[in-house]
Amino acid sequence: MPHVHAPGATPRRPRRVVVTGGAGFLGSHLCTALVGHRVEVVALDDFSTGTPANVAHLLDDPCFRLVRCDVTDFVHVPGPVDLVLHFASPASPADYLRIPVQTLKVGSLGTWHALGLAKDKGARFVLASTSEVYGDPQVHPQPEHYWGHVNPIGPRGVYDEGKRFGEALATAYREHEGVDTGIVRIFNTYGPRMRPHDGRAIPTFIRQALRGEPLTVAGDGSQTRSVCFVDDLVAGILAFAATTHPGPVNLGNPDEMTVRRIAEDVVRATGSSSVIETVELPVDDPRMRRPDTTLAERLLGWRPRVTWREGLARTVEWCRQDLAASADGEGASLAAAGHG
């Protein structure tokens, strides 16, 4: 476990951890980090947005077990559990607009079941909440005490309100059921294993640039985002999990960039000749997004270390290899079918 914590604090090292959504983007990186520290991990995933390929490198490790499980149905894990990291949820607009009811169910029923597991095992529970609870914020940057500006009946409401409900449920379990719960609010994160077609800006821009297609920037691109490399985020999550703090705690990179600048940097990083085109701005798209990370710095001694330039280069390289592997796989399939 990363030794990132407040001076004088004694971080707790879990022996056995359950990661819901363990085959997803963030979940798989958490599993990799935990197994790397020789912590036993049980990853639960229904593979609706995650994939076993994300944890294929862990499947032969005795510290790792992957279980197909829909947390909205029931969660049962035999044996002791010290920590439950609840990361099961669609996180891309493309996903939660496609499966809105399932998104609400995992934010409510899934969180309830995961909390029940933590209560039964006497485990620490960490909820992966989101900067989306702030909606289209009217306070900038966003501190944890800000209540947000969310449209509950807008297209993004299924994700935003599911997470807000999850926060309320985790708090109720802490105050009334005696469960050691904590909440992290995760801001925009990027890195290897993001799906090229998941609909989020960075993987979309990289995929378009690598294929020589126009980069589609929503609106005029002046809206801002603060993006954090996945390795930094994982370190912050595990440092927070090792405390007994209830949160919520913002985790993200406080360096703010316009979406247009992100697109321009992707073009440069890929060496692409792609041009930038504008498309219609999605409904309720936040105009600005930047975390106030004062609490994370004070509580955990945590701050992002990976620069945007370095993180982007590593992400582009992974996407380049992933797209090449996908193309090779498609070619092999066509040849096997007699179309090569």
Q: What distance in Å separates the CA atoms of residue 220 and residue 206, rounded to the nearest whole number?
A: 19
In sign, the C-alpha dihedral spanning 270, 271, 274, 277 is positive
In this structure, what token pair is assigned to residue 151? 């449209």
Alpha helix segments (H runs only) across the chain: 25-36, 93-98, 100-105, 111-121, 157-177, 201-210, 230-241, 259-270, 294-300, 308-336
C-alpha torsion 284→286→292→295, nearest 10: 30
Q: What distance in Å separates the CA atoms of residue 28 and residue 20, rounded to the nearest whole number?
A: 10
Q: What distance in Å separates the CA atoms of residue 20 and residue 228, rounded to the nearest whole number?
A: 21
Per the annotation, the verdict on 159 as an active-site residue is yes
Q: What distance in Å separates the CA atoms of residue 296 and residue 125, rounded to the nearest whole number?
A: 18
The 10 Å Cβ neighbour count of residue 262 is 22
In this structure, what token pair is assigned to residue 165? 């409900």
Length reported for the chain? 340
Q: Residue 165's closest CA among 136, 127, 122?
A: 127
Q: Residue 133's closest CA among 148, 146, 145?
A: 148
Measured CA to CA in angstroms, residue 267 lies from 257, 276, 314 at distances of: 15, 9, 14
Q: What is the DSSP string of 99-151?
A: SHHHHHHIIIIIHHHHHHHHHHHT-EEEEEEEGGGGBS-SSSSB-TT---B--
Pick the catalytic residue from 134, 159, 173, 190.
159
Residue type at 64?
F
DSSP character at residue 56: G
The residues assigned a catalytic role are 159
